[in-house]
Amino acid sequence: MVKSIARKAGLMPLIVLPLLLSVSIVMASPDLNVAHVKSTDSAGVEKDYFTIGEDVYCIIKTTGVGSMDVDIYIVFNDEWHGGTPMTDRGDGAETVTLTGDGDHGPFLIWSGPLVPGEYDIVVDEDQDGIRDPGEKVDYSEVGPGFFVVPEVSTILLTLASFSAFALIAIKQRGVSLTI
């Protein structure tokens, strides 16, 4: 029918061919991307020092549209280099779903009691257990993403115990101390 209309209008059959083709324009939408990850408290306030009795949370900032599932790992500071499988040092890797542009969380990623040390948070976007180039890490060039430190009372108790043992050892050797 299109050919007959084209002939009546005096158009050549070659011009009809483009009219028969369907043209679809597909706009590519940007993917959802992780912009950064930060350690926080339960209210989502950024925090870099935790005591052994606290819980560790994180906020993940995304840009773009869509949704994705990611795994969140807690690893020793700088342990994620080299493309080797990661070992989560907390309660195990946490899987969360991120949807749309913005801040997500806070997500509970490690429940106390914590182990003192220096740690980084890795967002494993492809969930392969390996930190790939471009996957975000909560760390800085000058140090770890966050620290777990003993509570002050634990430090004071340790110092007091050490001092008491030192005094006992000195007295057993017969040295007199005058203060």
- Residue 77 CA to residue 144 CA, distance in Å, equals 5
pLDDT number for residue 14: 46
- For residue 55, CA distances in Å to 19, 48, 64, 116 come to 65, 12, 30, 13
pLDDT band, very low/low/confident/very high, at 109 (cuts 50, 70, 90): very high
- Per DSSP bridges, beta strands 102-110 and 137-138 are unpaired
pLDDT number for residue 19: 41
pLDDT number for residue 73: 97
Q: Model-level pTM?
A: 0.69
Read off the pLDDT of residues 29-42 as tens digits, 9 standing for 90 and up.
459 999 999 999 99
**DSSP E strand stretches across the chain:** 33-40, 49-51, 56-63, 67-76, 94-99, 102-110, 117-124, 137-138, 146-149
Residue 142's domain is classified under what CATH number?
A: 2.60.40.1930
pLDDT number for residue 171: 57
Read off the pLDDT of residues 44-66 as tens digits, 9 standing for 90 and up.
999 999 999 999 999 999 999 99
38 DSSP β-pair partners = 59
Give me 142's structure tokens.
Answer: 């000058």
Residue 50 domain-assigned (yes or no): yes
Read off the pLDDT of residues 63-85 as tens digits, 9 standing for 90 and up.
999 999 999 999 999 888 878 89
Residue 21 domain-assigned (yes or no): no
- Residue 67 CA to residue 81 CA, distance in Å, equals 27
pLDDT number for residue 160: 46
Residue 144 domain-assigned (yes or no): yes
Coil/strand/helix, residue 6 = helix
**Would the pLDDT of 3 be above 80?**
no
Read off the pLDDT of residues 115-170 as tens digits, 9 standing for 90 and up.
999 999 999 999 999 999 999 999 766 789 999 999 875 444 444 454 544 545 55
Residue 177 domain-assigned (yes or no): no
Residue 141 domain-assigned (yes or no): yes
- Write out the residue range of the structural domain in which residue 52 sits: 33-154
Closest CA to 121 of 45, 59, 32, 31: 59
Q: What's 94-117 look like in SS3?
A: EEEEEECCEEEEEEEEECCCCCCE
Residue 112 domain-assigned (yes or no): yes
Coil/strand/helix, residue 29 = coil
Q: Is 149 left (phi over 0), alpha (psi -120 to 50) or beta?
A: beta
Please give the tally of structural domains in the chain: 1
